Amino acid sequence: MDAKERIARRVALEVGEGMLVNLGIGLPSLVANYLPAHVHVYFQAENGVIGLGARPPEGMEDRDLTDAGGGFVTAVPGAASIDSAMSFGLIRGGHLDMTVLGGLQVDERGYLANWMVPGKMVPGMGGAMDLVAGAKTVIVAMVHAAKGSPKIVPECTLPLTALRRVSLIVTEMCVIEPTEAGLVLRELAEGVTVEDVRAATSAALILEGEPKVMPLA
């Protein structure tokens, strides 16, 4: 499997029954494809939908039914359409169980930068700031490095999304838990060594015993 599928499969194992979950655009949206059949989850989008379903078959798209990134979605039975004020009230009020977001950088404090690169045109921060600040659990799902450059760094050089430590970092190489003491290496993908991860990471990593093998199902 490719790196993105590996990441999405591992993140899906963090999703529990009955959760209210927000998936970011891009890689995080793949998590919905790998949930166990018996797990019933309510997916929320910032633009005002609770109960997002899978992408519709080609030709069956509804232009009025999209996720926050503008991608076409379906709605599961019992889904609700709400206004943006209520949608962000759920997020800011701490009612969202989990959000899964992509990342440009995460640093040793567990701070995330994921909304802009200086000098490049961006549409705005969107809901990222609110999601990181308000969700009970914040998981960063991203490839470990970009064009050979580490994305897990001593300190973010890109603008921060929020001043809050994220809950978990999942890459194709490993699972890292940001803590008060620093970044703890919890799991390694099959065939990946601690030395491999250190070589691809510029931030300091903490080992608390032997890391577990990263499960995918």
First-last CA distance in the chain: 13
Other beta carbons within 10 Å of 170: 28
User: Is 187 designated active site?
Assistant: no
Instruction: Tell me the two tokens of residue 77.
Output: 């039975």
Q: What is the DSSP string of 133-193?
A: HH-SEEEEE--SEETTEESEESS--SPPS-SS--SEEE-SSEEEEE-SS-EEEEEE-TT--
Q: Which residue has the tokens 């931030």?
A: 203
* Phi, psi dihedrals of residue 124, rounded to the nearest 5°: 135, 175
Q: Choose the catalytic residue: 46, 108, 172, 177.
A: 46
Q: Which residue has the tokens 């800011």?
A: 92
Q: Which residues are catalytic?
A: 46
